[in-house]
Amino acid sequence: MAAPVLILQETDSTNAEARKRAEAGEFGPLWIAAKRQTAGRGRRGRAWDTDTGNLAQTLLLTLEKTPIEASQLTFVSALAVYDLVARHVPPSLVTIKWPNDVLLDGRKVSGILLESGPLGTGHIWLAIGIGVNVLTAPTGLERPATAIADHLSADRVTPPSFEEGANALAETFQHWLDIWTQQGFEPVRQAWVDRTPGLYGPCIARLSNETLEGTADGIESDGSLRLRLADGTVRVVSAGDVFFGVNA
C-alpha cells in the first residue's frame, strides 16, 4: 500500500519539511506535497521553481540501510516518474537520462533530489524529493524543459490535477519500492537500463572539479556510469552533470 499523502497549500521546500519532521522524531513513510514552494531546491543547490499545477512532493522514509544502498532509490524514483508521465502521454516519448532525469520528447520533465541523515537507532532518514512539470515548464535553462500538458495522449483531455498526480506518484513509487525491497537492486537497475538510451554513446560529464569527455560504456552494478576516455581508460562516475549525444 502506498504511503499516505499530506497536501500543503504552501511550504518553503518539501524536502526541508521532511527534514524537520525527521529531526523531530517522525519516521514516515509519508509523502509531503505542496501546491507552492517558496524555496524549492534541485541538485547542487539549484533553485527549483514550482508553478501552480506542477507537482512538488517528498517521501519521508526511514531505512536500515547504508547511505550508498539508499542512493539506489534514485533509480526507483526515476522509474516511478517515468510510469506517472507515461500514463498521460504517448509512452514512446518518455525516456530516462542517467541517473534520474525523466525526459519527455527529449526535454526534461522532472527533477529528483535525495537527502538523508543518521538516526540514533542505526537507521537513516531519507527525503526523496520529486518535482514534475505537469502544466508548465521553466524557461531559460541550460537544457530545454517541457510539461505533461504539452504532450497529452489522444485519449487524455486534460493533465492530472495536483491531487490526482500526487496520489498517482505515490502509487507508482510504491510499485518500484516493493520490487527493490523484495528483490534487490538488480531488477530495478535492469528496468532502468531498458528505459535509458545513450548509455553507449558520446558523453560529457561535468564533475565538481573537472570535465570529462568520452564514450559512455554502460553502468556498474550499483548504477554508477562508466565513461571511456580517448586514451582508453575508464572512469566511473557516481555523481555529476552528464550530457549524452554528439551535441553534448
pLDDT score recorded for residue 68: 85
* Cα(66)–Cα(127) distance, integer angstroms: 14
pLDDT score recorded for residue 50: 60
Name the pTM for this structure: 0.90
Evaluated on CA atoms 172, 175, 178, 183, the torsion sign reads negative
Average pLDDT by consecutive 10-residue portion of the chain (248 residues)? 95 94 94 88 51 90 90 96 98 94 96 90 91 91 89 92 97 98 96 93 90 93 92 91 71
Backbone angles phi, psi at 11, to 5 degrees: -155, 165
Pairing relationship of beta strands 30-34 and 55-63 according to DSSP bridges:
antiparallel
Contacts of 107 by beta carbon, 8 Å cutoff, 6+ apart: 137, 143, 144, 145, 146
pLDDT score recorded for residue 246: 52
pLDDT score recorded for residue 94: 98
Q: What 3 state SS string does 122-176 have?
A: CCEEEEEEEEECCCCCCCCCCCCECCHHHHCCCCCCCCCCHHHHHHHHHHHHHHH
Render 1-62 in DSSP notation, one character per residue.
Answer: -PPPEEEES-BS-HHHHHHHHHHTT----EEEEES-BSS-B-GGG-B----TTSEEEEEEEE
